[in-house]
Amino acid sequence: MISNLDYVTLQQLWWVICSVVGALFLMLTYVQGGQTLLWQVAKSDTETSLVVNSLGRKWELPFTTLVLFGGALFASFPKFYSTSFGGAYWVWIIILFTFIIQAVSYEYRKKAGNVWGTKTYELFMFINGSVGILLIGAAVGTFYTGSSFSLNEMNQVTWQYTLGGVNLRGLEAAFSLFNLSLGLFLVFNARVLGALYLLNNLDLAALPEMEQRLRKAVWSSFICLLPFLLYVVVAILLRKGFGVDENGVVSMVSFKYFFNLLALPHLLILLLGGLGLVIWGVLLGARKGSYRGIWPAGLGTVFVGLSVLCLPAFNSTAFYPSTFDLQSSLTIYNASSSKFTLVTMTYVAFAVPVVLLYIAYLWKQMDSQKLTTEDALDNEAY
């Protein structure tokens, strides 16, 4: 019985559940990646309509998953939600704004009376796929680098970082080389996934040049992500981490995340296996005649994301550390909801597999046939 689970187990379970949702979001950013490729791979109005209509059938999925991720964190770890979203609100407002202009773009790009022109809305899509994903990566990076905040006895957050007397409210995360590298890695990985998805979803028999551009985009985006991936991995292994002792005291620990990987070998397996699957997907995408690279690359992205999100939270580690006041750092144990709330949420979570099966069914129906140029020209929604 779920109610018989101890509090610590429930706290750990819900961090894993939130991390799975976050990892699924990273996989679904193929939509954002495809948006950044639009001007690179589509050289005519027909090709542009084909790409936009293909992505337009799925644009709600990453946004909905991002909202679900935020909602799950709000319910299960409200102290983290209030600290991050309440203190670093500028970075989250900009992220949400990029998703708002994405939704507007798909709705109004081809509407009658569009005085801004289609290129303006295509630029909005590019901003969502580049700036939005970059800042999400920078925000995740703060799980490793920390943020400058403090909490008082009433758990009220004060954001301490200022630049020229201006409180940047979280935007300083993008000034960290590690955070910026993680964000750029996610941007280029999304581009890889976007190109692989379009190869799988579009009927390119009559568009051999577009297929060639997509395969080139898979390879070039992968080459671009490699230095950022290498830096992030090496930095994680070598950097000091925020360890928590049995009394809840936070201190800096050398090679903390390296030791976490040794103590939690399943995360190491997920990380290495995920990277291997992404490489496999890239090789399939770069090879002529293969169109299924999105599946191993997408699954690999989920594995890598799950490892990155869980690594700073377990093995006595503060997942949202404070660089201003170490003792204000948050762990999954001091930031979670009550046991009653977590138990209730766990019962509700039993409905998640049913929802996932329904989504999978709809996905299969929508993608049962590849999108053709005739479909794109007949569909004026996007």
Per-residue pLDDT of the chain (382 residues; tens, 9 = 90+): 666 678 999 999 999 999 999 999 999 999 999 999 999 999 998 899 999 999 998 898 899 899 989 999 999 999 998 898 887 888 999 999 999 999 999 988 887 777 788 899 999 999 999 999 999 999 999 999 999 988 888 778 888 777 777 778 788 888 899 999 999 999 999 999 999 999 999 999 889 999 999 999 999 999 999 999 999 999 999 999 999 999 899 999 999 999 999 999 999 999 999 999 999 999 999 888 889 999 999 999 999 999 999 999 999 999 999 999 999 999 999 999 999 999 988 888 887 787 678 777 877 777 777 877 776 666 555 7
Q: Containing domain of residue 165, as a range?
A: 2-378
Separation CA 218–CA 214 (nearest Å): 6
Tokens for 17? Answer: 């559940």
Task: With CA atoms as reference, report the closest residue to 258 among 311, 303, 205.
Answer: 311
Count of domains forming the chain:
1
**Dihedrals φ, ψ of 336, to 5°?**
-90, 170
Tell whether pTM > 0.85: yes
Tokens for 158? Answer: 């004060």
- Listed in sequence order, the residues at least 6 apart from 109 whose beta carbon sits closer than 8 Å to its beta carbon are 52, 118, 121, 122, 382
Contact between residue 70 and residue 341 where contact means Cβ atoms under 8 Å apart: no
